[in-house]
Amino acid sequence: MNKIIKSVPNTLTCISLFFGCLSVLCSMNGNFQYAFWCILIGSIFDFSDGFAARALHASSAIGKELDSLADQVSFGVAPGFAMFFWMKGNASCCEYLPYIAFLTTAFSALRLAKFNIDERQTTSFIGLATPANAIFLSSLAATADALLKEGVSNWFTDICCNPIVMAVTVVATSLLLVSEFPMFSLKIKHFGWKGNELKFILIAFILVALVTSCLFGLIYAAAFSTILFYIAMCCVDYFMKK
C-alpha cells in the first residue's frame, strides 16, 4: 500500500505528460482548440502532482526529475508545436517565420533548468512559469484559429490573427520565461485578504473573463487574456514596490 501511495505523484506527472503528447498530435492535425484543452488539462495534473507529493509525503528525487521532463513536453514542446503549425498555415508572408515558434521550446527548457537550481522560487516565481506561458500561447492559437474559421473581421482579429504579431509574441514570452522579473504565484496558504490581494483580484478577473468569453463564444480568449492581466499585475506590483 505504501508503494502505491508513493507512486501517486509520479502517476499524475505521467498523466500530464500524456496530455502534452496529445496536444502535439492535435496541433499537427490542425485541431488547435483540442491542443489548448490538452495543455490546460495537463497543467491541472502538473499542479496536482506537487500537491499530492506534499500531502502524501511522497516527494522524491526521481519525482523532481520526472516533473521537469514532463513539463518540457507539455509546456515547452506542445505550445511550440501549436504556434508552429498555426503560423505554418497562416504565414504566407515568409515560409521560415513559423520556425520562430520553437524558441518557446528552447527557452522553456532553459527556464525549467534554471528553476531546478534556483532556491529563490519557493513561494513565488522569477520569470514567467512554463505552464502559464503554454496556456497563453496555445489559447492564442486556438482563438485565432476560431476567429478565422468563423470569418470574423475586426481590429481584434487583425491583431490576433497576424502571423507577425504571433512571432513577436513568441519572442517576447520566450524572453520573459528566463527573465529576472518577479511574478507572484497562486499558492494560497490562508484565505484572508491580507497577503492574498493580488491572488484574489486575479481569481475575480478569471471569473469575469470566463463569463465574458462565453457570452461572445470565445472561451479560449479567457485564458490568454487572464495571462496578460496576470503579467500586467506583476508589472504594477513590481514598480509600486520599487
pLDDT tens series, the chain, 242 aa: 666 667 888 889 999 999 999 999 999 999 999 999 999 999 999 988 877 777 777 777 787 888 889 999 999 999 999 999 999 988 777 789 999 999 999 999 999 988 877 777 666 788 899 999 999 999 999 999 988 887 777 767 777 778 899 999 999 999 999 998 888 877 766 667 777 788 888 889 988 888 888 777 677 888 888 999 999 998 888 787 76
Residue with the three cell numbers 496530455 = 19
Smallest CA-to-CA distance from 62 within 19, 6, 15 is with: 6
Taking the whole predicted model, whether its pTM rises above 0.85 is answered as: yes
The CA dihedral of 108, 79, 103, 111, to the nearest 10 degrees, is -10
Q: How far apart are CA 215 and CA 114, in angstroms?
A: 40
In the chain, where are the structural domains located?
Answer: 2-182
Instruction: Return the CATH fold of 2-182.
Output: Four Helix Bundle (Hemerythrin (Met), subunit A) (1.20.120)
Secondary structure of residue 182 in the 3-state scheme: strand
